[in-house]
Copies of this chain bind each other. A is one copy, B any other.
Amino acid sequence: MDVLTFGESMVVFSPNINGPLRHVHSFSKSLGGAESNVATALAKLNHSAGWFSKVSDDEFGRFVISSIKAEGVDTSRVIIDKERPTGLLFKERYQRSNPNVYYYRKNSAASSLSPEDIDEEYIKQAKILHITGITPALSESCRRAVYRAIEIAKENKILVSFDPNIRLKLWTVDEARKILVDIASKADIVMPGLDEAELLLGLTNKDDVADFFLNKEAKIVAVKLGSEGCYIKDKKEGVKVAGYNVSDLIQDTAGAGDGFAAGFLAGYLEKLSLNEIGQYANGVGAMATLVQGDMEGYPYYDQLMEFIGKRQGVER
């Protein structure tokens, strides 16, 4: 398996019209979850991916599993929780791209994940273990599960990939900073946004951010620069890769960062050049925004090739 990841996926309810939810009469159901997004996007790019979590023993839990399995992700180790519900997320939209969210995820099945749920044999099958900063924010036991998974990966020479995904609805900045910097410092691959890096490290220069992690355990760092693309640096070189200009076509930015991570890992696994890795990452991230829904916009390999071939722009 190329990439293994775990974390909470939720049932997402999106309003059929804009405006305050009070006046919305009809909602559409879809799926959301940073880690399953990454796994899905990787599977669509022909990389084997696995995802696990805990879900409820009801139709919402089954919806989560079947939606992710449908995309070709291995879900064989998902745990069914007989007691706790699957988390929910409601969107409220005033403008097209940046919805408010209402969480119903407290005490959810996924938030009860704990070190005991981490299956060493499963992790050992992966080349890369991908972690996001959402999971340690969910609960104390989730935090310990993350550390346990990283420990297993480290012991088995499996690469650890990390995307901070700071969610200030889930914890305070201080808590987030303390834990996320610690985790990121153990990771082989780190993919912070420049704004996230400032919040975590107080650094505003992309090279400083990359160097911070390269001086820890990172082999490679991707600093996300929003619509400007990204800056990728490893021990040898640093490359700025321009983003794809889709500003007039954006439907929904949710899932873009996860797409970036998946594109990055796909390129990295394919041993491409830093510039090509950046194009993959920027391309998947941009394509995610063209479609309503978190994961519906992720491209198949051919679609990605066409997209980055047609519109790409590189600068150094």
Q: Indicate if A301 sits at the interface (CB-CB under 8 A).
A: no
Q: Is the CB of B21 within 8 A of A59?
A: yes
Chain B nearest Cβ from A21, distance in angstroms? 4
Give per-residue flags for A56-72: 1 if the beta carbon is below 8 A from chain B beta carbons, else 0. Answer: 00111011001101111
Q: Which residues of B contact A215 (CB under 8 A)?
A: none
Contact A26–B24 (Cβ < 8 Å): no
By beta carbon, the residue of chain B nearest A24 is B29
| A85–chain B nearest beta-carbon distance, Å | 6
Q: Verify if A13 is at the interface (C-beta below 8 Å from B).
A: yes
On whether the beta carbons of B94 and A291 are closer than 8 Å, the reply is yes
Give 1 or 0 for each of A40-69: 1 = CB within 8 Å of chain B CB.
000000000000000000111011001101
Does A271 touch B at the CB level, under 8 Å?
A: no
CA distance A95 to B94 in the complex (A): 18
| Copies of the chain in the assembly | 6
Q: Which residues of B contact A13 (CB under 8 A)?
A: 13, 27
A22 at the interface (CB under 8 A from B): yes
Instruction: Tell whether, in the assembled complex, residue B27 and residue A26 are in contact, meaning their CB atoms are under 8 Å apart.
Output: yes
Pick from A13, A17, A24, A290 the residue with the most CB of B within 10 Å: A17
Ordered nearest first, which 10 A-B pairs have the shortest CB separation?
A70-B70, A19-B291, A21-B59, A66-B70, A22-B63, A25-B25, A23-B296, A22-B59, A19-B296, A27-B27
Residues in A lying within 8 Å of B, measured CB to CB: 13, 16-30, 58-60, 62-63, 66-67, 69-72, 85, 88, 92, 94-95, 102, 104, 106-107, 249, 251, 290-293, 296-297
14 interchain pairs, CB-CB under 8 A? A13-B27, A17-B292, A18-B251, A22-B60, A26-B28, A27-B28, A27-B29, A58-B102, A59-B92, A67-B70, A70-B70, A94-B249, A94-B291, A95-B290
